[in-house]
Amino acid sequence: MAISAGGGRMRPRESRPSGDSEAMAPGGRQRVRHLPQVARSHSSSCHFPRRGLSIQSIRQTLPMVRVVSVARNTGAVVPDSLGQPAWEVHRVSYLKSFTTSLIRSPLLWGGALAFCFFALIHGGVIKHAGTIRYLAGHWVEYVETVMFTVGLSALALKWLDVRRQAAHVDEPLLDSIPTGGQQPDEATGLQAKLPETEDDGYLIRRLREALDLVVRTGSAEGLEDHLKYLSDLDAARAGQSYGLVRFVIWAIPIMGFLGTVIGITEAIANLSPTQLENISGVVAGLGVAFDTTATALALSMVLMLIQFFVDRAEQRLLTRVDSAAWIGLAGRFQSVAADDGTAVALAKLSEAVSRSSEKLLQAQEHSWRALEEAASGSLSRAVAASGQELRSALSDSLGSSLSQWSESLVRAQAHVTSQREDRWAKAAEALTTAMEGFERHQQALADQTELLERVVDATRDVTDLERSLENNLSALTATGRFDETLATLSAAVQLLAGRAADGAAEPRRVELHALPRSRRAA
């Protein structure tokens, strides 16, 4: 196993046997006793399951240790480091951990970012007056800018780490849970299959710590509660990881207020009754007082907004880690103590009975399926025969019923047809009689029309005669022969009346009434 100096933890590379084992080192050296599996802990020193044994005691008793590892499948002993002293291995691991921590330090990246920014300002690349005034106008603003870049670097590194873990959280790290679960002693092999990296991340660390509980206790009792505890612990760690950012967000406004105090102090110091003409110094001091405060508040708001989004992304990651860890470990191990032989035997017997019962159920299921298929075939044939007989009976009964209904329908249709023909014949006779009466009325109307035409003609003749008589009367009146003319007119009227009586069926009398006229003197 490799001993890491980061946090004083010991991280196993491969699976180890639970008890002590011996291996002969190359070159005929004395055998080295392998120690049991190391339990991961968050303290400064990692203790072995054997009481009173720690890394410090190993260093004192074994100055030269050959680190070996056991192969997973064959159990062969393979040297890890070729005879290096323990202090040298520890020093290399410490330097590697220190280099990694330095590379991931927000102080380094924030300082480098601030240095580049101020170099651009002093080099004349950035010439914006507002930027220079609010970010590089006073030494307080320099401090605020450096603190802002440090906080921004911390949030950027945090966001990159969250994105990296979120991209791999759905990758299968453990094998699927077999039927009936696994024995707790298989947790060592599962723990060895987890990838070894400098920064494990939430999911790998949680799986390793949960499996370490099963390895140390030899039982899966309380694994679900331990997963909940690890979830709360990761949430607390996530909150503590923002300590530097929270300090920067708190310290930047304090620096702004400090700049305000310094600016007001300088303004008051430059304000003198004997030097009232030096008003520019007073104005400059007041400008520093307000510029530092405005810059501090703006930078703090930006950091708080970025922290809010990064924290939300990390909380979503923790939720996915909780789900993945629960799916991978919950119900995986059989809850039987490893040191209880009776319980283990009962568990194995129960597993064997379970497998036998499963096979018996499968055989019973096959037999029931075969019986069901046979019964289904017989039932299908019986239903088909019954259906054929029912179809024949229904066809016969429906045929006779349809024949009777057809005959009844034909008789009813014939009766209705005869009644309709009688009604149409009577209607035709009535229509014929009506047409004959209409023709008689039309003939009478034609006769009346002809008679009326004759009367109109006679009336026209009478009108003409009356007009002639009127003219004649006028003439006679003028000549004085009115009486003679009247007698002549009476004779003419009688003659016309006789002619009209000859032309009409019944005699008509035409009366002429003389119009009263004024007699003129000849």
In this structure, are residues 188 and 15 in contact, taking their beta carbons and an 8 Å threshold? yes
Token pair in block for residue 183 = 């024995």
In this structure, are residues 43 and 8 in contact, taking their beta carbons and an 8 Å threshold? yes
**What are the tens digits of pLDDT across the range 475-521?**
767 666 667 777 777 888 888 887 777 665 455 554 545 545 544 44
Distance of CA 246 to the CA centre of its chain: 36
Token pair in block for residue 349 = 């017997």
pTM over 0.95: no
Tell me how far apart the alpha carbons of residues 168 and 172 are, in angstroms, rounded to a whole number: 9
Token pair in block for residue 206 = 């949680």
The domain locations on the chain are 1-103, 105-339
Residue 92, pLDDT score: 62
With 0-12 / 13-18 / 19 or more C-beta atoms within 10 angstroms meaning exposed / middle / buried, residue 458 is: middle
Residue 377, pLDDT score: 78
CA angle 159, 165, 169 (to 5 degrees): 145
Token pair in block for residue 198 = 């400098």
Q: Name residue 474's amino acid.
A: S
Residue 305, pLDDT score: 94
> What does 366-393 look like in DSSP terms, one character per residue?
HHHHHHHHHHHHHHHHHHHHHHHHHHHH
Neighbours of 126 (CB within 10 A): 15
End-to-end CA distance of the chain: 176
Stretches where the chain sits below pLDDT 70 are 1-94, 96-98, 180, 198-199, 270-288, 334-348, 351, 476, 478-482, 502-522
Distance of CA 170 to the CA centre of its chain: 21
Q: Among positive and negative, which fits the CA dihedral 168, 169, 174, 177?
A: negative
